Amino acid sequence: MADQFTTGPIPSFDQPEPEPREECGVFGVWAPGEEVAKLTYYGLYALQHRGQEAAGISVADGHQIVVFKDLGLVSQVFDEQVLSSLRGHVAVGHCRYSTTGSTTWENAQPTFRTTATGSGLSLGHNGNLVNTAELRDRAAELGVKSRNGATTDSDIMTALLAASAADKGLEQAALEVLPTIRGAYCLVFSDESTLYAARDPHGVRPLVLGRLERGWVVASETAALDIVGASFVREVEPGELIAIDTDGLRSSRFASPEPKGCLFEYVYLARPDTSISGRSVHATRVEIGRRLAVEHPVEADLVVPVPESGTPAAIGYAQGSGIPFGTALVKNAYVGRTFIQPSQTIRQLGIRLKLNPLRDVIRGKRLIVVDDSVVRGNTQRALVRMLREAGALEVHVRIASPPVQWPCFYGIDFASRAELVANGLDLDGIRRSIGADSLGYVSLDALIAASEQPKTRLCAACFTGEYPIELPDDALIGKHLLEGIEKGVAGSAAPLQPAGYGAEDALRRP
Ligand code: SF4
């Protein structure tokens, strides 16, 4: 079944590159008397941009946990009937884009494990670990096996938590296991009655706490709180574990905070209506555009965004330059979200599937085109060509982030270093490669200033190559690390083996 839903890029001249993709969105609710599955559904809907490969919700009612998950968008995985069957007062939700492990049903989340005492544990993870190989070996020493062939760092974390919880309870187990995990992780997890949330000591990915009239919510972004009617309370602090049950909310520290929030969340990943560390993402993007106009001015007739992620920065560029803002490209908002495999003929339409030019607006104009970032350069090349064909006299490209030169190991899937256009070419080389009349990237200092965060509290590794969380050797990191092990490709003294499918805890759509 999974195979029918996977898509893969087939290159063509105009083929837009896949956008940088975030690993996941997480959402959790503790709210007796509320329809927690439906709240989680809407929360995941608000976080759909963070992961579109799979979605899942677990619900606990004090006695048992039921998990429902499948490949596809939130709206494809759940319907009224399924949501109505998920009854309880604790829910954990997840939408997935894979950065460790393939796109399979087994790798969809929430993950599920039982402890030796028979208690359940369901977990959703946003981020990417850098000591997965070490954790895998520890799990193997404990005799813990991969569940149903799952090949994710998230499954190993769940296994270690479940193994440790058997004799000391989940809260104490989390306080002991979490300090041994390195990398980026925002976790939302539950047993039969308690909701937990934890954030890595660097706080790479966002995680926030919200209040409902009769309960609590945790979510990857503040926008998801707004959408379910929860009020923002505060961020889950880096290195903090939160537990919520009938005794109220408990907060514990499992590590000293060393904040290194992801700068790219402000550029592209987070919703514009989200706030991170008290700073509005939309306002940040507008300010980046203003600064871009100061750093890279050019005479032109119209500032146009690449919709929709380039729109706030284009508004800022127009404000900063005094050149009018206009719409020249119309986005087909739903085409990138289909799981229907396009035919070769359709694929060759490339960027035209996604963006359509407004020829009346474009013809005879000198355009400034504002985009959020450049990864491989394919999208911008196709765009410049499309705008020239639509009659643009000049096309000046302005980018609301510095050149992406390094891969991310903390939860974003850009491309390999060799594929990044900024890695092999200088500025003029990139300009010629995409066919623009001029090209300008905002500086790192301007981007950081726009975010209003202290430089020391940010990760900017994809721009600078300075990774704030130490990385292991190349052989011990990578999306398919655990799959290589299971196939016997990478060495391991005690390889994990699929334990076989056990359906007692998880429902699967037939
Ligand atoms: S490397 Fe880039 S995308 Fe990854 S966490 Fe750091 S700033 Fe974010």
Q: Point out the ligand 1 atom lying closest to the alpha carbon of residue 20.
A: 3
Same domain, 227 and 324: no
How many angstroms separate the CA atoms of 407 and 475, rounded? Answer: 15
From 209, 234, 260, give the residue that closes a domain. Answer: 260
Whether this prediction's pTM lies above 0.75 is answered by yes
Kindly state whether residue 506 falls inside one of the protein's structural domains: no
Q: How far is the CA of 105 from the centre of ligand 1 (A)?
A: 27
Nearest CA to ligand 1 atom 4: 408
CB-based contact 215:34 (threshold 8 Å): yes
Task: Give the Å distance between the CA of 340 and the centre of ligand 1.
Answer: 30
The residue behind tokens 């991310």 is 408
- Residues 234, 291: one domain? no
Ligand 1 proximity of 448 Cβ (cutoff 6 Å) = no
Residue 269 falls inside a structural domain: no
Binding residues: 262, 309, 371-372, 408, 459, 462
Q: Which of 185, 220, 263, 269 to mutate to test the pocket of ligand 1 (most atoms within 8 A of CB)?
A: 263
Q: Classify residue 66: in a domain, yes or no.
A: yes
Measured from the Cα of 468, ligand 1's closest atom is: 6
**Structure tokens of 289?**
């555009």
Q: Is residue 299 situated within a structural domain? A: yes
H/E run at residue 450: helix 444-451
- Residue 418 is part of a domain; what is its CATH number? 3.40.50.2020
Write the pLDDT tens digit of every residue in 394-438: 999 999 999 999 999 998 887 678 888 888 899 999 999 999 999
- Residue with CA closest to ligand 1 atom 8: 262
Q: 109 and 144 share a domain?
A: yes
- The verdict on 189 and 336 lying in the same domain is no
DSSP H/E element including 67: strand 65-71
In a domain? residue 477:
no
302 & 443 share domain = yes
Together in a domain, 376 and 402: yes
pLDDT at 354: 84
DSSP code, position 153? H
Write out the H or E segment, with its range, that includes residue 167.
Answer: helix 153-168
Residue reference for tokens 């890279």: 296
β strands within 418-495, DSSP E? 438-441, 458-459
CA of 16 to the centre of ligand 1 (A): 22
SS3 state of residue 305:
strand
The catalytic residue among 14, 16, 21, 24 is 24
pLDDT for position 335: 62
Ligand 1 atom closest to Cα of residue 409: 4
Q: 122 C-alpha to center of ligand 1: Å?
A: 27
Domains contained in the chain, number: 2
Which residues in the chain land under pLDDT 50? 1-18, 337-339, 485-510
Q: Helix 170-177 and helix 153-168: axis angle, to 10°?
A: 130
Alpha carbon of 461 to ligand 1 centroid (Å): 6
Residue 8, both tokens: 């893969």
- Asked whether residue 359 is assigned to any structural domain, the reply reads yes
Residues 6+ apart with CB under 8 A from 172: 165
Query: Which one of 408, 453, 466, 471 would you pick to mutate in the ligand 1 pocket, going by the greatest count of ligand atoms within 8 A of its CB?
Result: 408
Query: Does any domain span residue 208?
Result: yes
> Same structural domain for residues 368 and 422?
yes
Position 342 scores a pLDDT of 54
- 95 catalytic? Reply is no
User: Is 264 a pocket residue for ligand 1 (Cβ < 6 Å)?
Assistant: yes
Query: Do 219 and 282 fall into the same domain?
Result: no
Ligand 1 geometric centre to CA of 260 (Å): 9
408 lines ligand 1 (CB under 6 A): yes
DSSP state of 105: G
Residues 186 and 286 in one domain: no
- Ligand 1 atom index nearest CA of 204: 5
Predicted local confidence at residue 75, as pLDDT = 94
**What distance in Å separates the CA atoms of residue 501 and residue 508, rounded to the nearest whole number?**
11
Tell me the CA–centroid distance for residue 459 and ligand 1, in Å: 6
Taking CA atoms only, the protein residue closest to ligand 1 atom 5 is: 262
Annotated binding site for [4Fe-4S] cluster: 262, 408, 459, 462
From 234, 260, 286, give the residue that closes a domain: 260
List C-alpha distances in Å: 405 to 17, 148, 386, 485.
Answer: 16, 37, 26, 29
**311 and 248 part of one domain:** no
Tell whether 369 and 302 lie within a shared domain: yes
**Amino acid symbol at 197:** A
Residues 104 and 239 in one domain: yes
Range of the domain at 70: 23-260
Within-domain flag for 459: no
Which of 452, 485, 503 represents a domain boundary (last residue)?
A: 452
- For residue 494, the model assigns a pLDDT of 25
Q: Of 23, 276, 412, which is best to mutate to test ligand 1, by the most ligand atoms within 8 angstroms of its C-beta?
A: 412
Residue 463 CA, closest ligand 1 atom number? 2
